Amino acid sequence: MLKIEILTTGDEVLEGLITDTNSAHIAREVAPFGVVVRRVTAVGDTLEELRDALLEISARADVCVMTGGLGPTSDDLTLDALALAAGVPLAVDEGLWEEIQRIYLGRGRVPPSNRAQARVPRGGVALRSAVGTAPGMRLTLNGCEVFAYPGVPEELYWHCEQTLLPYLAARLNIALHRRTLRVCLLGESRLYDLLRPLSLPPEVRVGYQALHVEVRLKLSSPSRDALERAEALIADALNREAPGHLISHHDRSLPQALVALLTARDLTAGCAESCTGGAVSAALAGVPGASAALRGGVVAYSNDVKRALLGVRDETLAAHGAVSEACALEMARGARAALGVDWALAVTGVAGPGGGTPEKPVGTVWFAWAGPHGAEAERRALKGDRERIQRVAAHEALFGLWRRLSAGGAPREVTDA
């Protein structure tokens, strides 16, 4: 049995300022190979303690995955600790430094401190990154293969996928087929309950990774046929029991999937937002190529802006208030006209912590979607603090448009309170 350990670094981990989610991710990723993480060690930003931890782990493990400490500042000591533990010098790899500088093109002057990220201990192999400035590092220490990765979760995930998993597959002679589905606005426990009765092929492993309001459903198997059978069974169950919640078979987020769908159909979209403050537009704009579909957005936080830019009537606000079905519908119609788009979505609500009433408590949010054949609105009672309500509301707004487009039907002038 391959022995693997994790070494996570940083004073902020020991002080409880950040939660170590990276170790859990690594453990989930290696599990399909039949590998169980034997031990997780956390060490602060002290060079001698990092060296000692590396020497201890390398004496008993076959593989060590080290996270954090690859930045450009004085407390980023991973490269120094690796060199010290191995008893080898560190030297700047000029080719690697040029690559780091190229990453910075368009961002302004490259800070000189980033040159420290281009150092390589003798015998080490720099692991180039496509998602950040910090390269990873691979070094054999006392027969133990050490993979040092950045602590930023997105960068760590990329490095695991690109270097750690292929290494394990080659070393264990396992051809592992993988597929990652994305499910939106369906809780991890609810998703598990839906899939538990399925008779999936026994050689298929299913993993769950919660991403706020989305869940990554990770399938892996040494058999491609078994993987495809499992994927089909899962998709059928979700489409039957929770229509529309399966967003992607290729690990695309809801904003990514929605931009792709709009672009494929040559449709344009725009947003009118109140309580989300631009979060819906930002989610779409964060997708590369979003300009093909996203025309713009209006952050109408005040009633004056709702009137002036979206055409919300005084009578509507006086009779129903800003957090209402009528206001949401007029916001959506107004945005569609003002932005000249095929589809417009609107969101208005009470994000809290104040502002709620018995009739409209904190978490009351109205959504509306206006398209070529009319508009419709829905209300949600969301739970949590202000940040969570805004985050979920943004996804609910996007999900409503996704459902209407993916179903292929045209909305009617109806409401769902």
The model's pLDDT over 274-284, given as tens digits with 9 standing for 90+, comes to 999 999 999 99
In the chain, the percentage of residues whose pLDDT exceeds 90 is 84
Q: Is the pLDDT of residue 409 over 70?
A: no
**What is the rounded CA–CA span in Å between residue 8 and residue 25?**
12
Q: Given 3.40.50.150, 1.10.1740.110, 3.40.50.11240, 3.30.70.2860, which CATH number is that of 177-248?
A: 3.30.70.2860
413 confidence band (pLDDT: 50, 70, 90): very low
Out of 46-60, 79-93, 174-188, 378-392, pick the least confident: 174-188
| H, E, C per residue of the chain | CCCEEEEEECHHHHCCCCCCCHHHHHHHHHHHHCCCEEEEEEECCCHHHHHHHHHHHHHHCCEEEEECCCCCCCCCCHHHHHHHHHCCCEEECHHHHHHHHHHCCCCCCCCHHHHHHHEEECCCEEECCCCCCCCEEEEEECCEEEEEECCCHHHHHHHHHHHHHHHHHHHHCCCCEEEEEEEECCCHHHHHHHHCCCCCCCCCEEEEEEECCEEEEEEEECCHHHHHHHHHHHHHHHHHHCCCCEEECCCCCHHHHHHHHHHHCCCCEEEEECCCCCHHHHHHHCCCCHHHCEEEEEECCCHHHHHHHHCCCHHHHHHHCCCCHHHHHHHHHHHHHHHCCCEEEEEEECCCCCCCCCCCCCCEEEEEEEECCEEEEEEEECCCCHHHHHHHHHHHHHHHHHHHHHHCCCCCCCEEC
Q: What is the mean pLDDT of the chain?
A: 93
Domain range annotation of the chain = 4-172, 177-248, 255-416
Q: What is the mean pLDDT of residues 218-242?
A: 95
What is the reported pLDDT for 417? 24
**Has domain 255-416 been given CATH number 3.90.950.20?**
yes
* pTM strictly above 0.85: no
13 confidence band (pLDDT: 50, 70, 90): very high
Counting beta carbons within 10 angstroms of the beta carbon of residue 414, is it exposed (0 to 12), middle (13 to 18) or buried (19 or more)? exposed
Q: Given 3.40.980.10, 3.30.1160.10, 3.40.50.300, 2.60.130.10, which CATH number is that of 4-172?
A: 3.40.980.10
